[in-house]
Amino acid sequence: MTGWLCIAGLGPGDEHLITPEVSAALAAATDVVGYIPYVARIAPRDGLTLHPSDNRVELDRARAALTMAAEGHKVVVVSSGDPGVFAMAAAVFEALERQPAWQALDIRVLPGITAMLAAAAKAGAPLGHDFCAINLSDNLKPAALIEARVRAAAGADFAMAFYNPRSASRSETFGRILEVLRQQCGPERLVIFARAVSTPEEAIHTVALRDATPEMADMRTVVIVGNAATRRVGRFVYTPRSALPAAPP
């Protein structure tokens, strides 16, 4: 078999944040597969076929990519940010689990800079101590589980990064999450709304939880909530590495 499959992260938007390893895989590829806006970031060239597909068809997309690799194509499946963070790598492995014949293929995961790390770097160092990442989309898990995880993370005094915070189809959910956070963390806790990081539309705002509103986030925003020790220093926000865990409630 001469085909291969790379599952690659394109980073948050700026092409300078694409790793050389990912650029090399794209330069060698015969086929690029992915969600429409991510494939649109790949420059067309002779010998390269682009396969954009709609959202919410991750498993079909993974199967199509694996089928092409098994036929001898050199395939890159692209995700934004990192492919292992709420993205295509897990979908490819799910397809592999269901079709063991594909497990002999040459498959590699190529990391990228995930949105929360790009956002944290712009803000300062809000993830400098222990933190977690939670996807607020209820497409693949129940809303009650999301709320339980937010309560648990806030209760353990993790800084938190929220992906997919708010969409048109679930505009209420993020307001509810902000309410839970205000109860758990109090009104002074710092929240960073980082939109379209590393693109020309980038906008980064830091507010106290008291002043945070659902409208401050959309699907191009990653939201970072600090822990109890997170604070401002000049125009930056950081979480000291020496922060002690909050006393249990």
- At residue 229, φ and ψ (nearest 5 deg) are -100, -5
Taking the complex as a whole, the smallest distance from the CB of residue 240 to ligand SAM amounts, in Å, to 25
Taking the complex as a whole, the smallest distance from the CB of residue 38 to ligand SAM amounts, in Å, to 9
131-135 vs 159-163, strand pairing mode: parallel
# residues contacting ligand SAM (CB under 6 A): 24
User: Which residue from 173, 184, 206, 221 is in contact with ligand SAM, where contact means CB under 6 A?
Assistant: 221
For residue 132, the number of C-alpha atoms closer than 13 Å in the C-beta half-sphere is 14
C-alpha span between 108 and 5 (Å, rounded): 6
In one-letter notation, the amino acid at residue 174 is: F
User: Which residue from 154, 222, 225, 243 is in contact with ligand SAM, where contact means CB under 6 A?
Assistant: 222
Neighbours of 241 (CB within 10 A): 10
Between 143-155 and 171-185, two packed helices, what is the crossing angle to 10 degrees?
A: 20
User: Which residue from 51, 220, 231, 246 is in contact with ligand SAM, where contact means CB under 6 A?
Assistant: 220
163 binds ligand SAM (CB under 6 A): yes
CA distances from 79 to 7, 15, 133, 204 (A): 8, 14, 17, 23
DSSP designation for 182? H
User: Which residue from 32, 77, 78, 87 is in contact with ligand SAM, where contact means CB under 6 A?
Assistant: 87
Taking the complex as a whole, the smallest distance from the CB of residue 24 to ligand SAM amounts, in Å, to 20
Ranges within 14-73 binding ligand SAM (CB under 6 A)? none
DSSP designation for 244? P
C-alpha span between 98 and 100 (Å, rounded): 6
Q: Which residue is nearest to ligand SAM (CB)?
A: 81
Q: Closer to ligand SAM at the Cβ: 160 or 197?
A: 197
- At residue 29, φ and ψ (nearest 5 deg) are -75, 150
Q: Write the interaction track for ligand SAM spanning residues 186-215; mark x where CB under 6 A is met and - where it is not.
A: --------xxxxxx----------------
Taking the complex as a whole, the smallest distance from the CB of residue 81 to ligand SAM amounts, in Å, to 2
Q: Closer to ligand SAM at the Cβ: 130 or 202?
A: 202
Q: Provide the binding-site residues for ligand SAM, judged by CB under 6 A.
A: 12-13, 79-82, 85-87, 114-115, 119, 163-164, 194-199, 219-222
